[in-house]
């Protein structure tokens, strides 16, 4: 994801305000961007991966 991506910049800014790490925010953003067009009924693995990302970034 390009660093001049406005959506990413905004997300990093608001995520940092919440005290979330940049690495977590970048991983989440990339994952959600890659699956943004996947319909709601087919997102089970997207949620599993989200959980894995969040779990892996605990304590950072």
Partner 1 sequence: MRLTHLILRNIGPFRNPPAISLEFGKNATGYAFFADNGRGKTSIYNAMRWCLFGEVRERATTAGGKRIEGSLRPIVGDGKILMNKDAYENDKVQEMSVMLIAQGKKGQIQVQRIAKSTTTLPRTDDELSIDLSVTIGGNTFSGKKAQEAIESFFPKGLERFFFIDGEALEEYTEMMQSSSLSGLQDDVNAVLRIPALTKGEDDLKMLRQIVKAKIKSSNKASQESTLNRDKARNKQRQLNEAISTVTSVEKSLITVRSKLLETNEKLKGHQEYVEIYKKMDILKAEIKMLEIELSEAANEKMIESKDAWKVLLWAKAGPIYDSFNGQIDDVNNREGIIRALNKEISRDQEAFDAINGICAKCEQPLPDIEKYQNKLSSEIKMKQQKLLEMNNVSAMSSTDLYQSLGDLQKLQPPQRARERILRAEKKWKDRKSRLQNKQEKFANLNSKITAEGKADTDALRVSKGRQEATMTTREKELKNAQDTANAIEIELKNLNRLAGKSSGDSESHAIDLTIGKLIVAINNTITSYRETARKAVEENASSVFLELTNAKGVFSGIHLDKDFKAKIKLSKGGFAVNPSSGMMSMMTISVIDALRRVSGIDAPVFLDTPGRSLDYKHKEELLNYFWKNEGHQFLIFAHSGEFDAQNTISTHSDQLAKAWSLTWPGDHHNCYSCSSENVVFDTTSKTNTCDDCGEKWDIRSNNTMIRELKI
Within positions 28 to 47, which residues make up the interface with partner 1, using CB under 8 A? 28-29, 32-38, 40, 42-43, 46-47
Considering the complex, what minimum distance in angstroms separates the CB of residue 38 from partner 1?
Answer: 7
State the Cα angle at 46 between 58 and 38, rounded to 5°: 150
Residues that bind partner 1 (CB under 8 A): 1-2, 5-7, 10-11, 13-15, 17-20, 24-25, 28-29, 32-38, 40, 42-43, 46-47, 50-51, 54-55, 57-59
């Amino acid at each position: 994801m390009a660093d001049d991506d406005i959506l990413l910049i905004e997300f990093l800014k608001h995520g940092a305000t919440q005290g979330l790490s940049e690495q977590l925010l970048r991983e989440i953003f990339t994952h959600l961007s890659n699956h943004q067009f996947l319909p709601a009924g087919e997102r089970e693995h997207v949620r599993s991966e989200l959980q894995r990302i969040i779990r892996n970034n605990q304590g950072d």
